[in-house]
A and B are shown apart, each in its own frame.
Chain A
Amino acid sequence: MSESISITTTQPAQTAASPSFWQDARHRLWKNKLAVFGLVVVCVLGALSLASYLWPNLTGYTYARQDLTLGPAPPSHAHWLGTDALGRDLLARLLYGGGISLTVGLYATGVSLIIGVIYGAISGFAGGKVDSVMMRIVDILYALPFVIFVILIMVFFGQSLVLMFIAIGAVEWLTMARIVRGQVMAVKRQEFVEAAHALGLSEARIIFQHIVPNLLGPIIVYATLTMPEVILLESFLSFLGLGVQPPQSSWGVLIKEGADVMQEYPWLLIYPAAAMALTLFSLNFLGDGLRDALDVRGSKD
């Protein structure tokens, strides 16, 4: 009796080459409406912020231009979101601030990503005592109070945006390291890695061909989820007066300024707070969507 083998796919109509993992992930992400919403919002905000950076007069006002005769004014035709105590256009400040917050988010996440991935990967691959020691260091660092640490840096080295990236990144890498290390250990234990050993592949090949591609998923997801944390941290610093200094505005600064005069001029708080909340939600939706989309669909058929 001849054996006729047919391949059943869950999309019976497909006869072309099957989607790669990334194409498949993109498809699944697209189907997730919430994640798409998040992506769109983030892109729009990013674009607007970039635009306001390139063309400071976008709204007709720069973020620093004061109009003392106007003073704090509620939203009007001239100033869509109103003005603050110094007559500065809130919309312009909001967009500019968005740019700063997103930039800080990106760079600080980048810093934490680089440090965290390298540290976590070394720890995960080395295993044994090395791994124990490295993880205990992480545990100890976790216990340090972040705020005090950043204040110390700011006090000693002066306040600058770059320093803030580094300070935040230097704290956020801890979680990334743990995640990467956990993922490395999980992937290392998979049977296909053992199979690669059994074939006689070199260590380098196993690491780069077999282990690393299976790490990217969680790394991307957690990087996306780190950004809102970083933005929040930055706003916290700015709220305390440690971060971005006026006349530059980040959302943290705007929220602080708005909170101070919350009772009299509520719009100064509402709009920045709403913008920040929207961005954080969007990044979280995007992160969750990415997590679902990148989930290796490899279990039982």
Chain B
Amino acid sequence: MNPGEAFLEVRDLKTHFPVNKGLLFSRRVGAVKAVDGVSLSLRQGEILGLVGESGCGKSTLGRTILQLIHPTAGTVRLEGRELTDLRGATLRRARAAFQMVFQDPFASLNPRMTVFDALAEAMQTHRRIPREELPGRIGALLEKVGLPPQALRRYPHEFSGGQRQRIAIARALAVEPKLLVADEPVSALDVSIQAQIINLLARLSREMGLTLLFISHDLSVVKHIADRIAVMYLGRIVELGSATSVIEKPLHPYTKALISAVPIPDPRREAQRARILLPGDPPSPLNPPPGCPFHPRCLYAEPRCSEIVPKLEPFGAGGAEVSCIRAKDVNPP
């Protein structure tokens, strides 16, 4: 890795899914541009929160970075190593460095394998561990995620959602990755359990020096755990900045609307808030609007906005970036 280069460097990443028509000789009639030109850099040990609503492409972005989906264009470099041209056995071996925690704790564990089997399999994927050592190491792993040793011989269906998610986290950590992508890891859990898992991820990340990409549609959760936040809309990042500044001083019109839409469990503050209500529905990535993807719903839109595609550019001194040609007008000093 070159000095000064980021730990994880994503440049102009695009993931387009072709849409074909025709039975035998199908031709391509269009594409779903799930990820349409995303650039990011993460420092080692950083936690980046990736937020957006359904259809914005955040899950696809997470999977593309992990090479679970092949990008259509762009590069992903982890510690200086290019990931997008890895294939076959080389790619499999490289996976030890980057892992994923999935959204649905009920579906992401093989129902036929005990916890021990699942963790042992994970642990031995990339290295040989002598059999006598396995129980000890797996026991230590379980303890790290807060599960008791009795869990070892049980099957996934005997655990609650929160516990299954802990197992899934343990499995991801078993290969000792440096980068962890968590795709909506708490969305399927009850509120009181969400807090447990969020605490766990934050603590593990600190203790193990993990770089964490935390994907969620829930701004409050992301705000709590992330150092920086990236807001996605229709396959592009529209704003990027420190967690506090994005939440407290959002720059992009979409971010402003998003934040104002999140209900706050505080009746007096709720009553006093100014709500920005976005017209219409989130658009489909099959037919993105010309120019700025957000302009049809934007309260500040001008004719120019449908012609120019904005780029993510720095705004102000705090390291914030925003993708809006009217950023200065929308945010008067």
Contact = CB atoms under 8 A, between A and B. Distances in A.
Interface string A193-220: 0111111111000000110011000000
A7 B159 contact: yes
Interface residues of A, number: 31
B280 to A, nearest CB: 32
A192 interface: yes
B285 interface: no
B324 interface: no
Contacts of B163: 5, 7
Contacts of A17: 153
Contact of A210 (B95, B110, B122): B110
A301 to B, nearest CB: 6
A199 B125 contact: yes
Interface in B115-163: 121-122, 125-126, 146-148, 150-151, 153-161, 163
A300 B106 contact: yes
Contacts, number: 94
A214 B111 contact: yes
Interface stretch (B3-11, B96-104, B308-316): B96-104
Nearest to B97: A200
A296 B157 CA distance: 9
A18 B102 contact: no
A201 B168 contact: no
Query: Which of A3, A192, A197, A209 is the most central at the interface, judged by chain B CB atoms within 10 Å of its CB?
Result: A192
A55 interface: no
B68 A197 contact: yes
B157 A298 contact: yes
Contact of B93 (A190, A200, A301): A200
Nearest to A198: B100
A31 interface: no
A166 B44 CA distance: 64
A299 B104 CA distance: 10
B92 to A, nearest CB: 4
Contacts of B226: none
B161 A301 contact: yes
B107 A5 contact: no
B102 A195 contact: yes
Contacts of B54: none
B100 A195 contact: yes
A8 B107 CA distance: 19
B175 interface: yes
Given A7-B150, A7-B159, A194 B175 contact: no
A296 B112 CA distance: 9
Contacts of B156: 298
A140 to B, nearest CB: 15
Given A5-B148, A201-B125, 17 more contacts: A5-B163, A9-B158, A20-B155, A190-B107, A192-B107, A192-B108, A194-B68, A195-B109, A199-B95, A199-B99, A199-B121, A200-B125, A202-B92, A214-B110, A296-B157, A298-B156, A301-B157
Interface of B: 66, 68, 91-96, 99-100, 102-104, 106-113, 121-122, 125-126, 146-148, 150-151, 153-161, 163, 168, 171, 175, 196
21 contacts: A3-B146, A5-B148, A5-B163, A7-B150, A7-B151, A7-B163, A18-B154, A21-B111, A194-B102, A195-B168, A196-B110, A197-B68, A200-B91, A200-B92, A200-B95, A200-B175, A209-B121, A213-B112, A214-B110, A298-B111, A301-B157
- What are the 6 tightest A-B residue pairs by CB atom distance, in nearest-first order? A200-B95, A191-B107, A298-B111, A191-B108, A200-B92, A192-B110
